[in-house]
């Protein structure tokens, strides 16, 4: 069975600094997709970034980028120039192509310090 | 485009009752997924529907069921409610073919007393 592990329950970062959130996964599938979602306090889940397993190039969306290491089954999220609005729970998610069964990690709570 | 909407937003039920939650996807989206979110278990996948067909389901008892209508709106039903069913129930919609991105609704907070 596929699993997603986020080993950092909580992280803190100073405003304007850079922080990296870790995610590892386990799968025997060859075609899959990975996502990072953000859930601000009392607000709804927002898609941050996605990565297709067949793409070697790491995805980037403005201040958010990933470090996708397929062989190591690692998918970390880097947030540059952290802002107060980045404070949220961040979830890593996996889905095998054609399965339509999404698996989420337990989340990392990110605090941004002014 | 309007986002994913879920109704009701809050619900209080008594143990043993049943409940129906509703989800309207983003216009054009044909896939709807449901999740249960609790502090202890995190986000647990319930099921996914596409064009009125359930394509996959998570490891939940048969008390949890769902359906999708021809307009892609979806409902989930929980029968014989237990205290442990208290959770935030999230719905997410997506295109459902070729793209695996999901867009979440605000959730329905269910409290079972």
Give the pLDDT confidence of B69-82 residue by residue, as tens digits. 999 999 999 999 99
Phi-psi region of B106 (alpha: psi -120 to 50; beta: other; left: phi over 0): alpha
Residue B94 has pLDDT above 80, yes or no: yes
A101 to B48: CB separation less than 8 angstroms, yes or no:
yes
Cα–Cα distance between A59 and A68 in angstroms, integer?
8
Residue B104 has pLDDT above 90, yes or no: yes
With beta carbons under 8 A apart, name residues in chain B contacting A107. Answer: 42-43
Distance from the Cα of B107 to chain A's closest Cα (Å) equals 7
In the numeric block, which tokens belong to residue A42? 């009392």
Nearest chain B alpha carbon to A89:
B42
User: Which H or E run includes A93?
Assistant: strand A88-96
In the numeric block, which tokens belong to residue B102? 């999901």
Among the listed residues B79, B78, B73, the one whose alpha carbon sits nearest the alpha carbon of residue B91: B73
Cα–Cα distance between B91 and A103 in angstroms, integer?
14
In the numeric block, which tokens belong to residue A9? 């329950």
Among the listed residues B83, B73, B75, the one whose alpha carbon sits nearest the alpha carbon of residue B38: B83
Would you give the distance in Å from CA A112 to the centre of its chain? 17
Confidence of residue A98 (pLDDT cuts 50, 70, 90): confident
Nearest chain B alpha carbon to A92:
B43
In terms of Cβ atoms closer than 10 Å to its own Cβ (0-12, 13-18, 19+), residue A55 is exposed
Q: Does A96 touch chain B (CB under 8 A)?
A: no
SS3 content of chain A, % helix, strand, coil (to 5): 5, 55, 45
Query: Which pairing describes strands B5-7 and B53-57: parallel, antiparallel, or unpaired?
Result: unpaired
Percent of chain A's residues with pLDDT above 70: 100
B42 to A101: CB separation less than 8 angstroms, yes or no:
no
Of B57, B96, B105, the CB nearest to A44: B105
Those residues whose C-beta lies under 8 Å from the C-beta of residue B43, and which sit 6 or more positions away, are: A91, A104, A107, B35, B36, B37, B90
Tens-digit pLDDT profile for residues A38-89: 999 878 899 999 999 998 889 999 999 999 999 999 999 999 999 999 999 9
């Amino acid at each position: 069975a596929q699993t997603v592990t986020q080993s950092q329950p909580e992280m803190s970062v100073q405003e304007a600094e850079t922080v990296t959130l870790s995610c590892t996964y386990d799968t025997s599938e060859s075609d899959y997709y990975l996502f990072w979602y953000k859930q601000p306090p009392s607000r709804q889940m927002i898609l941050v970034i996605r990565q297709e397993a067949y793409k070697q190039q790491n995805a980037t969306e403005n201040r958010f980028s990933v470090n996708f290491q397929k062989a190591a089954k690692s998918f970390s999220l880097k947030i540059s120039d952290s802002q107060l609005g980045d404070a949220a729970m961040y979830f890593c998610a996996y889905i095998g192509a054609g399965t339509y069964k999404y698996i989420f990690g337990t989340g990392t709570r990110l605090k941004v310090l002014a | 485009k309007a986002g994913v909407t879920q109704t009701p937003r809050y619900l209080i039920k008594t143990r043993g009752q049943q409940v129906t939650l509703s989800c309207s996807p983003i216009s054009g989206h044909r896939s709807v997924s449901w999740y249960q979110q609790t502090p202890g278990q995190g986000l647990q996948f319930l099921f996914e529907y596409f064009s009125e067909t359930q394509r996959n389901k998570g490891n939940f008892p048969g008390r949890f069921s769902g359906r999708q209508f021809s307009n892609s709106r979806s409902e989930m039903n929980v029968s014989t409610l237990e205290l442990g069913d208290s959770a935030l129930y999230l719905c997410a919609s997506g295109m459902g073919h070729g793209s695996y991105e999901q867009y979440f609704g605000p959730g329905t907070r269910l409290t079972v007393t």
